[in-house]
């Protein structure tokens, strides 16, 4: 197995362990809204938002780099 795959599997295992140790319900305030949900649901939502933001930022940087490279080639 590749080292990257092993690291991802270890991080996933750690994440699952953390999930099952945090089953209590917490109150969340977001602007004007109040939510109550178990941490076991809150953590994956937070992880998913982080992955989406990371993907969007990396794709934006790639596009900027491609535009910069294209403008450099034209000159």
Parent domain of 22: 3-74
pLDDT of residue 65: 72
pLDDT band at 9 (very low <50, low <70, confident <90, very high): very high
- Tell me what the mean pLDDT of segment 11-38 comes to: 88
- DSSP SS3 for 71: helix
Average pLDDT for residues 12-26, to the nearest whole number? 86
What is the number of structural domains in the chain? 1
pTM of the model: 0.56
Phi, psi for 60 (deg, rounded to 5): -65, -45
Residue 34 sits at φ, ψ, to 5 deg, of -120, 130
Note the pLDDT tens digit of each residue in 28-75: 898 999 989 988 888 889 889 999 999 999 887 777 777 676 666 665
């Amino acid at each position: 197995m590749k080292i990257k795959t092993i690291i991802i599997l270890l991080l996933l295992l750690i994440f699952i362990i953390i999930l099952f140790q945090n089953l209590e319900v917490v109150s969340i305030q977001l602007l004007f809204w109040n939510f109550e949900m178990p941490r076991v649901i809150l953590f994956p939502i937070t992880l998913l938002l982080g992955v989406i933001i990371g993907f969007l930022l990396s794709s934006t940087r790639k596009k900027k780099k491609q535009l910069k490279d294209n403008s450099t080639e034209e000159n």
